[in-house]
Amino acid sequence: NSEELWDTTLDPTRRVLLKVTLDEAGEAERLFSVLMGEDVEVRRKFIEDHALEVKNLDV
């Protein structure tokens, strides 16, 4: 929905642009693959193993 996209992402008065730097690019790539990849079981195991370590959760 384009109105929601404007309200949450595109509105220049509300959006924040951050530069991200990675000290451990290999680990970041591995985590991205685990969390965004097609292997549901690997993702589920990661989430179950690390659920209690969450410090910031946006729901």
Q: Identify whether 58 is part of a domain.
A: no
Residue 16 lies in a domain: no
User: Which amino acid makes up residue 2?
Assistant: S
Give the burial string for 19-38 (b: 16+ CB within 10 Å, else e): eeeeeeeeeeeeeeeeeeee
Q: How far apart are CA 50 and CA 31, in angstroms?
A: 12
Q: Within a domain: residue 43? A: yes
Tens of pLDDT, residues 6-50: 988 888 998 888 898 889 999 999 999 999 999 999 999 999 999
Q: What's the domain count of the chain? A: 1
| Cut 0.75: pTM above it | no
- The answer to whether position 18 is within a domain reads no
Measure the CA–CA gap between 49 and 43, rounded to whole angstroms: 10
Residue 30 counted as domain residue: yes
48 domain residue, yes or no: yes
* 37 domain-assigned: yes
Containing structural domain, residue 43: 24-53
With contact defined as beta carbons under 8 Å apart, do 28 and 22 qualify?
A: yes
